[in-house]
Structure 1
Amino acid sequence: MSRADDPSTTDTESTYREYILGVRIVECQSPADDGPRYRFGAPQHRGITFEDPSMAELYADVYFDVNGFEEAGTGERGVPPEIIQAGRDTLAAYFLTQPYTDRHWVSSFYGKETEVIERYVARVRHRAEEIREGARERGIE
């Protein structure tokens, strides 16, 4: 898994997934790339691009789980304070979106089986969906 932090000029862009509050994932295609890239974007967030759409969606779920965060200023391998404060499952999900990790790395970091990490991720995804659904019910788009 890898991701690029510098969205390059692309030939085509289309909305891959749109969330509430101006958060979205844009599919970017360029002949220079091996395939499409998926750029996460949100107000007050510098944006970040992934090769795998599921990692972009997980990143969005972490974003909603902690009520937004900004990576700028955290350094090359730093973690935003909002994520650290959110707890083990959110941190595990965030780690999975990083280019230097995979499920085995996160499992080793926590000393847990990969199935446990999958449960952590499922909890984050569930909470993020509850947050988005609750906002929609209150008319927040």
Structure 2
Amino acid sequence: MSTHDTTPATDDSIVEEYVLGVRILEGGVDDRYRFEAPEHTEIAFDDLADARLYADVYFDVNGFVEDGTGERGVPPEVVQAGKDTLAAYLVTLPWADVNWVASFYGATPTEIERYLSWVRDRAEEIRARVNAQQLE
């Protein structure tokens, strides 16, 4: 498990910095987008949109443990959060996209995009509340 490091490696740049020590970095050996959060396992994405959506899922469920997911499936916090959050999580996986998730759910890509927007909106509200509390 990786821990939060406030100083990025010399060849990494911060793309997005959120509250509570969560951020997305770009660079490294493979020039991918790396999601970082305290006590969270290292995970990287080829696409910045996937990394941002993953961060939104992370905030939507108040954090989750990804370590060992390959052996145990989807993190329970994500499954328990509901259909829209699970759809958003699935879209971030390297083998899935909006069309695959729509097929999995028996829905249209438009419906899945709506689910993703709900997750993004909730995550933004959560980050705004945390930010406001930190300013008090």
Per the normalisation by structure 1, the TM-score is 0.85
Shift of 1:73: 2.0
Shift of 1:88: 0.2
**Distance in 2 of aligned mates of 1:76 and 1:102:** 21
Point out which structure has higher relative CO (alpha carbons under 8 A, 6+ apart).
1
1:50 aligns with one of 45, 48, 52: 45
Matches within 5 A, 1:44-83: 44-75=39-70, 78-83=73-78
| Partner deviation per Cα, 1:104-135 (whole Å, 9 max, x = no partner) | 11000000000000000000000000000011
Number of the residue aligned with 2:19: 20
Shift of 1:74: 2.3
Number of the residue aligned with 2:5: none
Shift of 1:29: 4.6
**Distance in 2 of aligned mates of 1:20 and 1:53:** 18
Number of the residue aligned with 1:136: 131
**Distance in 2 of aligned mates of 1:51 and 1:100:** 12
Instruction: Name whichever structure is richer in helix by fraction.
Output: 2
Structure 2: runs of 5+ lacking an equivalent: 1-8
**Distance in 2 of aligned mates of 1:74 and 1:52:** 20
Per the normalisation by structure 2, the TM-score is 0.88
